[in-house]
Amino acid sequence: MKIYIDLSNLMAVDFLTGIQRVVKEIVIRMTESRKNELVLMTYFHITNVYRRIDNQKFYDFFAHGKGNRTSAVTTEKINPADIPSGAVFFDIDSVWNSRVKRSWLFPILKQNGVKIVTQLYDLIPITHPQFCHENTAMNFMVYTGANIKYADLIITSADATVKALNELTDRLGAERKKTVVVPLGSDFVHKDSNSETPDKKAAEIAENSKYILMVGTIEPRKNHSLVIDALENGLAEKGIKVIFAGRIGWNVEKLEKRIKSHPLFNKSLFFFEKPNDATVDMLYKNAFAVAFPTFNEGFGLPVIEAFQRGTPVIASDIGVLHEVAGDMAEYFDPTDKDDFIKCVSRLADDENAYRALKEKVKKFVPFTWNQSAQAMENAVMSVSENSKSVPENTNIKQIVCLTARNDDILATLPYIEKFMPFIKEIVLCTPDKNVSELKKLYKGRLDMKFLTDSEILNGNPLPDDHSTRNFFLRCLAMKNPVIDDVFIMTDDDYRPLRTIKQENFIKDGKYLAYYCYDLNEWQGTYGNPTSFDVCMKKSREFLSKNGYPTMMYSSHQPQVIDKRIFNEMTAEYPEIISQGLCEWCSYFNYGIRKYPDMFETVPYVSMGWPGTRSDWDIYVRPKEFLFENHYSVLYEKGRVFYGLSDELNDDTIEENQIKIMRYSEELNRQLTDREVYNAYCEGYLLQYREIPSFFINCGQDNSITINAPEYIVMKNSGWTRIPVKMKIQTKSEKILLMYWFSDENGNNISAVAKQEIDINKPEFILPVVTLPFKQQCVFNFRVMIEDKNTAADAVMIANVV
């Protein structure tokens, strides 16, 4: 199982504070234990992409100080949309301020069936926003919202954080998250500090003074002021000094000034900025006590770091610190300096009490980083533990086909017999009237079984719409015992092109799910949707509404189905049976979300989908072609398979090679057209700093404004597709979009193409038929509100190359 970790923050900072130290300790251990499974990445702002980090170089730098962090970043790009299903995205770094908002990233990951595990350090920016920079609070709010919505598991380091999270989810009316508490380690291995020496000045003070130490970033939440107040109001008189070690944080300008201009500064009050590990270690060991007057905390690392060195702690009387320190610390009210002074005085004045506390601290058994890392790793792995897996002994022998066309299925069966040797049995779901003819005409090797409409429907009426009918019948058929638990589902015109094995459907213990598109991107026939398009739309709506991924699996090729999962889906959502969803899209997206370890998503391998390159732009290019989505029209004169046979014969294998070559060429032409358009967009972006786009505003007063690119480039003799976005405020529903080409003298050199706007889909891709020759000309673009008699034109130079 691959584990992806975004280390953008750790890789960007040069001084490691609490969270980065945790990230470092955990991830270096995971690079040892999960060598080949761990994919480390960092967001590369210069090019706005994620880049992979070399695990070994990361380890060498962060564990041993060898090399540098920049050289650990490789040139390999990682597209979040390519993170495979079944992988885990472990969000352990403090990434909330990253440009890549989790509200954007997590839906993409969930779409692919990626599990999300987040280490939530605290909820302070939510519960105590006054202690945070406002930008941090805003970003953290987005981060928290995304985690509540999408994370599969939240790891915290204290129960107090779980409690705060539960309170928040309850208040939001959201489902409580699954959580695991993993305490943080405290045995910071000072590999880096072996070669370091403590700061001389710090060492001199530490060895010759009784001092209270505070370690951590100087920020309002940490409450350094209280300790200074205490120093001024009694501690100094007692000969107790105060040392602050850390870096300057946010909103502490006044405090910094107070420290540095204090009359006791460098006498009884000291500040060591960004001390090295050796200095911190030395300061901890020699401190009379460590003070932790924080108002709120996620864990309180300084507490256990102090305990680890046998140093007593005087801590704020807050829940999380009781959880961490138990009875080994002295507690005080963080709003009361006198209470703090009392606490310190008690220990300073009563040697026995101080010694007793030290004895208690000696018994402290630190949770090690190895333990933390192991527990976190177990938690990360647990998100897949309860998943089902495909049984090893699964053997597919059955293919199931819904057909009302005897000729088509009879023409397809020889291909299945020849090229799918593992298939022994076919179940035909077919109208009753077709059965006798099929029985009479079929003489092949397959054991042919029938599930007639009357058997399937059992008195239910058959829906009229094609897609609704198909889904309805398939849902009902799936309940019939004649259908195996695991089988191949196909249509009567999906033909294998060469020998197909079971491994083409089940590989490495996973069902292969062949996708062809993202339903969110599928436009279909704009303005005039087909039954298929409507089916896709309904499927997308169902899947989005219920939080499932929305990939499109109607790849027009046979696919493996586990009917137990299909039936689980229809049992959970019985209403969908009559709603005409896409059986492929609903099943696979449901299955992938529920049982990500049982599925692997792969690009489809079907030829003839699209039938011709002008039908629609492919979303993913098939790496190979194993099946043909058979359209007899493609064998007609002038079409891609003209002259080749569409019946099985002795030359079929050779002919299939030719078909694949011709079809690949057809797809290449579409891709070339797209490449020309993409190159134009890139060039345009460089020139104008914007992506060329058409934005049309149809105002309430029926006025029209068009924002169009300065120029446009497209490939000749083909299609290009232009993104158009409309803002429709007019009450009219008759908006027409037209385009045509003209020469430099204003004469039209193409027909005027018209497209009616679907006011429910104001953002769409306009298919544009380009000129059949190369020409520098003018592209005319007109928008009309027909019934209001208003229109606007946009003209631009067009370079048809």
Identify whether the C-beta of residue 539 lies closer than 8 Å to the C-beta of residue 582.
Answer: yes
User: One symbol per residue from 742 to 771: x for binding another protein (CB under 8 A), - otherwise; what is it?
Assistant: x-xxxxx---x-------------------
Among 71, 499, 707, 729, binds another protein (CB under 8 A): 707
Residue with tokens 């920016």: 125
CA 463, 467, 473, 475 torsion: positive or negative? negative
Residue 1 near another protein by CB under 8 A: no
CB of 781 to another protein, least distance (A): 8
Q: Which of 639-651 are b and which e, b meaning 16 or more Cβ less than 10 Å from the residue's Cβ? A: bbbeebebebeee
- Report the residue number, 495 or 782, with the smaller CB distance to another protein: 782
Residue 384 near another protein by CB under 8 A: no
**Three-state DSSP class for residue 600:** strand
Residue 65 near another protein by CB under 8 A: no
Among 12, 16, 100, 189, binds another protein (CB under 8 A): 100
Of the candidate spans 85-93, 122-130, 246-254, 582-590, the one that interacts with another protein by CB under 8 A turns out to be 122-130
Among 460, 645, 705, 717, binds another protein (CB under 8 A): 705
Residue 8 near another protein by CB under 8 A: no
Q: With the CA atoms of 590, 594, 599 and 600 taken in that order, what torsion angle do they form, in degrees rounded to the nearest 10?
A: 80
Residue 782 near another protein by CB under 8 A: yes
Residue with tokens 């702002």: 45
Among 103, 374, 480, 546, binds another protein (CB under 8 A): 103
**Three-state DSSP class for residue 284:** helix
How far is it, in rounded angstroms, from Cα 41 to Cα 92? 12
Of the candidate spans 14-22, 96-104, 192-200, 523-531, the one that interacts with another protein by CB under 8 A turns out to be 96-104
Of the candidate spans 12-20, 151-159, 498-506, 686-694, the one that interacts with another protein by CB under 8 A turns out to be 686-694
CB of 294 to another protein, least distance (A): 16
**Complete DSSP assignment for 239-277:** TEEEEEEE-B-SS-HHHHHHHHT-TTBTTTEEEEES--H
For the chain, the distance separating the N- and C-terminal CA atoms, rounded to the nearest angstrom, is 47
Query: Hey, what amino acid is at 775?
Result: Q
Question: Distances in Å between the alpha carbon of 104 and those of 12, 274, 383, 594?
Answer: 21, 35, 22, 22
Task: Compute how many residues bind another protein; rule: CB under 8 A.
Answer: 86
- Report the residue number, 702 or 716, with the smaller CB distance to another protein: 702
How far is it, in rounded angstroms, from Cα 686 to Cα 370? 49
User: One symbol per residue from 162 to 181: x for binding another protein (CB under 8 A), - otherwise; what is it?
Assistant: ------x--xx-x-------
Of the candidate spans 132-140, 494-502, 566-574, 620-628, the one that interacts with another protein by CB under 8 A turns out to be 132-140
CB of 379 to another protein, least distance (A): 24
- Report the residue number, 168 or 400, with the smaller CB distance to another protein: 168
Identify whether the C-beta of residue 123 lies closer than 8 Å to the C-beta of residue 160.
Answer: no
Residues of span 646-685 touching another protein by CB under 8 A: 683-685
How far is it, in rounded angstroms, from Cα 21 to Cα 186? 10
Among 126, 376, 429, 728, binds another protein (CB under 8 A): 126
Tell me the Ramachandran region of residue 717: left when phi exceeds 0, alpha when psi lies from -120 to 50, beta otherwise: left
From the list 639, 654, 719, 723, the residue with the least C-alpha distance to 684 is 723
Among 13, 665, 690, 774, binds another protein (CB under 8 A): 690
CB of 554 to another protein, least distance (A): 20
From the list 229, 199, 193, the residue with the least C-alpha distance to 212 is 229
Residue 773 near another protein by CB under 8 A: no
Identify whether the C-beta of residue 309 lies closer than 8 Å to the C-beta of residue 249.
Answer: no
How far is it, in rounded angstroms, from Cα 573 to Cα 578? 11
- Report the residue number, 460 or 707, with the smaller CB distance to another protein: 707
Of the candidate spans 21-29, 142-150, 154-162, 278-286, the one that interacts with another protein by CB under 8 A turns out to be 142-150
- Report the residue number, 310 or 683, with the smaller CB distance to another protein: 683
